[in-house]
Amino acid sequence: MEIKTYRDLVVWQQGIALVKNVYEALKKFPKSETFGLISQLRRAVISVPSNIAEGYGRGRKDYARFLSIALGSLYEVQTQIEIAKELGFIEGQQYKQLLEKTSEMERMLSKLHRVIRQRTS
């Protein structure tokens, strides 16, 4: 498949799917977390595909930097999902699904980041 825009990138598409999955999970969080963990998770998960898209429109060096930011945001999401599990906000299958999605995203983003960095060298 030819990549014409960032929307053609599987890693961006997976990022959008992750946003939807996290938002679905957040519906079960207590209202008391609206300005806490809910807000943090929303910001971090939205940052992943947003930085992939923003970086795509720039030169390779900047793109590598934006992919690095997206990866950092993904690590935030993974950490916050672990915290939510420990607090009893996410359980069982939903936790497992989010963990699998974030791990897959991590592999894809890391590989893309490595390839882009090598091309700038």
The answer, yes or no, to whether residue 1 has pLDDT greater than 90, is: no
Does residue 89 sit within a domain? yes
CB 119 within 8 A of CB 60: yes
User: What is the Cα Rg of the chain in Å?
Assistant: 15
Query: Comparing 109 with 57, which gets the higher pLDDT?
Result: 109
| Residue 95 domain boundaries | 6-120
Does residue 1 sit within a domain? no
Q: What is the pLDDT, as a whole number, of residue 59?
A: 86
Q: What is the pLDDT, as a whole number, of residue 13?
A: 98
CB 74 within 8 A of CB 48: yes
Range 55-67 average pLDDT = 93
Number of domains in the chain: 1
The enclosing domain of 90 has a CATH number of 1.20.1440.60
Mean pLDDT across the chain: 95
